[in-house]
Chains A and B, each alone.
Chain A
Amino acid sequence: MGEDTFSQLAALGSTLTLIFGLVVLWRHSLHAYVGAFQWQSLVLAGMFVLVGYYGGDPALYVVAAVFWALKVMIIPRYLNRLHRDIGAAQEDTPYVNTATSLVVGGLLVVMAYAMTRPMVLASTLPTRGGIPLAMGLILVGLFVLITRKKALTQIVGFLVLENGIALLAVLGTYGIPLIIELGVFLDVLLGFLVMQVFVYHIHGTFETIDVDQLNQLKH
């Protein structure tokens, strides 16, 4: 297997990651979101292994293992538990309807191609074709986060955004230095744990996790 295969596998992986991100735009149950996130993270862990193998950087295997533990095992488990404790959190009425969401999602990916043009031109890496897709995933995550009303869905949007950044780092730079990567994972975990505590708090004080209801604070 040579560079061509590597390049194609990287493109395939990035495309899959992006598609799992787009799933969040048209599915409505949290169950589906968690599933999509889990699959997306699994593909991403695979990307770390792939780049580690072809790029000759064994540190990426460690990153892949930690990433897998964190985002395929731990975080989805917590999300499902939250879901169970708080009850069904159907995202019935996002601020933007499904059809429009999908169109916007497509436009965001196009925009990502325009934004990352300087990178793709500057790079000689076989993985550079995936960089716009990673940027697209970041933008899609951001879009989910600002258009969904449920606190839990916002967390999913945030996690998708973070996966986009991880993909960007692994494709564009063959992974950031190990110590920083581990620090970032620690932050991700802590941040997620604090967010889920707040979901319980929101549920406890407002008796809903519809952030539309969070309107106590005005001037």
Chain B
Amino acid sequence: MIFLLLLLPSLTAALLAFAVRPYRNFVGRASALLSLAPLGAALAFAGQTFGGGTPVFGPGDLLRVDSLSALFMVCVAFAGLLALWFSPGLAGANHFEPGALRRYHVFINLFIFAMLLTVSANNVGIMWIAVEATTIFSAMIIPLTLTKSSVEASWKYILICSVGIALAFVGTVFAYFDFVTLSGHPENALNWPVLVAAAPHLQPDVLRLAFVFILIGYGTKAGLAPMHTWLPDAHSEAPSPLSALMSGVLLTVALYTIMRWKVVVDAALGPAYSNQLLIALGVLSLGIGAFSLVVQHNYKRMLAYSSIEHVGLMCIGLGLGPLGIFAALLHLIGHTAAKSMVFIAAGEVLHRFESTDLAGVSGLLRAMPRTGVLFAAGVLALVGLPPFGLFMSEFALVRAGVVAGHGWLMAVVLVLLAVAFVSLIRHLNQMLYGEPPAGVPMGEQRDWRFAWLAVNVAVLVIFGLVLPAPVAAWLNQIVEIVSR
């Protein structure tokens, strides 16, 4: 029942947008309202899994929720809600054509549906199908207005990610091959709990190869270097609510699939193998993200590279054992809150200044006091400044690394974080202060939608000051699932 509440509203909204032709504003408002239901369902699941339940649904236990999936559901549902409430075409003046708006509302809802399905699928095959679907649906709305750069970005995106995901499928087939060789064709062989139970008896050599394919494949989607090349283009060219979703949750949903497979592989090979690979890819991504931030001229690309940096950090955390996984989960929550807010704010900035150039934006705090403050708070959170949650998680991550005996590596991580810190702050100063360019209207009208962003700020601040005990207990449950 709750599963229907989780998955059906996005489908309904997509159908509605599909059926109403030409696009009318009430469609946008309806999908914004409908997005409340999945968030409620996700929170209900969080409560259920906190109480120790793992609800399943459908023939062959098609869908299943444990606390790991529930965490991602909450993140996806919340980011989805933000994206839909700030989507173009809810009311009043629009700067997009009705056809483009209609397409946008069909596919952004399908995109959210596919992400929710990814994290609730029990079967790793269905999980793969859903991840591939996220690529297809989001690629459709990156070029909301057809320009050379948006078409180029979406072509790169769909091609690179489809190939990546195809490689993840090769890995899945290898793992299934391993399973079938061991025990024939039982029912639901690709269901995750079945795989985990069988894993200790699987052929290690086959599984090792399978994991390399899975990591490269889903890692492409997660924006891990060196497979990240599509990311800055796609994230910067996409309409801002879509960027908020892609940066805030899509990357971590891809990490989720890696976490699921890591458990299977670790049960067969021990954690050392997957940990080494994760740390190596993580450090590379962190480095490439951090140094690319230095040379940015475009604030949306800047935020995209910051996502690569943060995904790298989470990936390192996942490779550092239970303490690191805890830090990575904490980081993931903070990153979702900060990135979705910053991209929404960036969309407002772009709308007002009509430029994605860093040089084209100055005096943001004077021209847009409210958006400017939110943007600044988000960026300060992203660079890991206290009192925001990401400071705590980065601290926990480095500590986990030192405890795990990776002292030197953590020194490198800290240096890279410092590089990212300095360049982001420099770019932020450039945007916030000074005289706004001539012709940019000053001041902002009251907009009640911004009340939603209070949730982001609250999450960032609360997680930075005190980690509430129930949340910590819940996260520990997830750590147990991932590191058993």
Contacts and interface: CB of A to CB of B under 8 A. Distances in A.
Interface in A76-131: 115, 118-119, 122-124
B277 interface: no
B66 interface: no
Contacts of B153: 217
A201 interface: yes
Contacts of B152: 202, 214-217
A176 B185 CA distance: 9
A176 B129 contact: no
B136 A122 contact: no
Nearest to B142: A198
B69 interface: no
Contacts of B159: 145, 154, 158, 195
Interface string B97-133: 0000000000000000000000000010110110011
A211 interface: yes
Nearest to A117: B205
B170 interface: yes
Given A201-B146, A206-B151, A219 B297 contact: yes
A161 to B, nearest CB: 6
B367 interface: no
Contacts of B296: 219
Contacts of B128: 180, 184
Contact of B155 (A142, A186, A202): A202
A191 B292 CA distance: 31
A162 B159 CA distance: 13
B370 interface: no
A151 B156 CA distance: 10
Nearest to B129: A183
Interface stretch (A40-48, A66-74, A164-172): A164-172
A86 B156 CA distance: 20
A214 B233 CA distance: 12
Contacts of A122: 178, 181, 203, 205-206
Interface in B124-183: 125-126, 128-129, 132-133, 135-136, 139-140, 143, 146-149, 151-156, 158-159, 162-163, 166, 169-170, 173-174, 176-178, 180-181
Interface string A147-180: 0000100100010011001001100111011011
B158 A123 contact: no
B176 A206 contact: no
Contacts of A151: 155
B434 to A, nearest CB: 23
Given A174-B180, A201-B146, A202-B155, A119 B206 contact: yes
B136 A165 contact: no
A217 B233 contact: yes
A163 B244 CA distance: 35
A217 B237 CA distance: 10
Interface string B180-191: 110001000110
A62 interface: no
A194 interface: yes
A204 interface: yes
B469 interface: no
Contacts of A177: 125, 189-190
Given A173-B177, A202-B151, A165 B190 contact: no
B129 A180 contact: yes
B170 A138 contact: yes
A180 B132 CA distance: 13
B209 interface: yes
A176 B173 contact: yes
Given A123-B177, A191-B132, A165 B146 contact: no
Contacts of B126: 179-180, 183
A190 interface: yes
Contact of A161 (B147, B163, B180): B163
Contacts of B158: 191, 194-195, 198
A128 B409 CA distance: 43
A205 B143 CA distance: 12
Residue from the set B152, B158, B185 with the largest chain A CB neighbour count within 10 Å: B152
Contact of A172 (B133, B156, B177, B190): B177
A82 to B, nearest CB: 14
B466 interface: no
Given A161-B163, A211-B155, A190 B136 contact: yes
Contacts of A204: 146
B64 interface: no
Contacts of B149: 216-217
Contact of A169 (B148, B173, B233): B173
B335 interface: no
A206 B148 contact: yes
B301 interface: yes
A144 B291 CA distance: 32
B203 A187 contact: no
A119 B174 contact: yes
List 4 tightest A-B contacts by C-beta distance, closest first.
Answer: A180-B125, A118-B205, A183-B129, A172-B177
Given A122-B203, A183-B129, 15 more contacts: A119-B209, A122-B206, A161-B166, A174-B180, A176-B190, A180-B125, A180-B129, A184-B128, A187-B132, A195-B162, A198-B139, A198-B151, A201-B151, A214-B156, A216-B149
28 contacts: A119-B177, A142-B163, A158-B159, A158-B162, A158-B166, A161-B166, A165-B169, A165-B173, A168-B170, A174-B180, A174-B185, A184-B125, A184-B128, A184-B169, A191-B135, A191-B158, A197-B140, A198-B139, A198-B155, A201-B154, A204-B146, A205-B147, A211-B155, A214-B155, A215-B152, A217-B149, A217-B153, A219-B296
Interface of B: 123, 125-126, 128-129, 132-133, 135-136, 139-140, 143, 146-149, 151-156, 158-159, 162-163, 166, 169-170, 173-174, 176-178, 180-181, 185, 189-190, 203, 205-206, 209, 232-233, 237, 292, 295-298, 301
